[in-house]
Amino acid sequence: MDETSQKIIDATMSLIRDKGYVATTTKDIAILAGVNECTLFRKFKNKKDIVMNGMEQEKWRGNLTPEIFRNVRWELQPDLEMFMEEYMNRITPDFVKLSIGLRAPQIYDETAPLIMKIPRAFVSSLIEYFQSMEQKGKLPHLDFEGLAMIIFSNTFGFTFLNASFDNKLTSINKENYIKTTVATFIQGIPHY
């Protein structure tokens, strides 16, 4: 990946994040990338190709792999706090906005499965985590899918709302929110 192509990709994804795919023109991309407009088409097949290449890059994909679910201490409180924190550190407001900007009819068929990878990874890994906790005798058998969805809906919802409304909806900071949520959750679920 040469430097010019990378500049084009970065400019494109930034503009999509700010204005959406359809409202992002190749002229704007060229200006922001600091290249001539025809250079875009020397490097990429078309506008969509720039995006698809951008989404191959970790930088623009919001990397959240099952790896973080392996750095656990097998204690609910620190582990759940860590999962939520990792999610919020990687799924930044900018990434949320980019995900929204990628919802365009021209590309959504291709971008949607990529966007869905992260929620899927998070939820299924969290279910596995709960199952392992059960096997270790630290949790009774519960509806782990439902519990995973509670944690994830919560995490995602807070992240999205902050990305959309900044602090106009709530002034709670992330760390306090995580602690309160996890404490309430742990206290609320059945224990041995």
Residues of the shown chain interacting with DNA in the complex, contacts defined by CB under 7 A:
2-4, 24-27, 34-39, 41-43, 46-48
Nearer to its own copies, 46 or 71 (CB): 46
Q: Are 144 and 127 in contact (CB under 8 A)?
A: yes
144 binds, among its own copies, DNA, none (CB under 5 to 8 A by kind): none
Q: Are 42 and 84 in contact (CB under 8 A)?
A: no
Q: Shortest gap between Cβ of 4 and its own copies (angstroms)?
A: 26
90: exposed, middle or buried (Cβ count in 10 Å: 0-12, 13-18, 19+): middle
Q: CA 27 from chain center: how many Å?
A: 28
Q: Shortest gap between Cβ of 91 and DNA (angstroms)?
A: 27
> E strands, 50-192, where?
none
Nearer to its own copies, 135 or 187 (CB): 187
Give the list of residues 6+ apart from residue 125 with CB closer than 8 angstroms, or none: 66, 69
Residue numbers of the site for its own copies (CB under 8 A)? 18-20, 22-23, 100, 103-106, 116, 119-120, 123, 143, 145-147, 149-150, 152-158, 160-161, 164-165, 168-172, 176-177, 180-181, 183-189
What is the tally of helices (H) and strands (E) in the chain?
A: 9, 0
Q: Are 88 and 159 in contact (CB under 8 A)?
A: yes
Nearer to its own copies, 82 or 161 (CB): 161
Q: Shortest gap between Cβ of 21 and its own copies (angstroms)?
A: 9
Q: Shortest gap between Cβ of 3 and DNA (angstroms)?
A: 7
Q: Are 61 and 114 in contact (CB under 8 A)?
A: yes
Nearer to DNA, 2 or 109 (CB): 2
Q: Shortest gap between Cβ of 110 and its own copies (angstroms)?
A: 15
34 binds, among DNA, its own copies, none (CB under 5 to 8 A by kind): DNA
3 binds, among DNA, its own copies, none (CB under 5 to 8 A by kind): DNA
* DSSP structure string for 151-166: HHHHHHHHHHHHHHHT
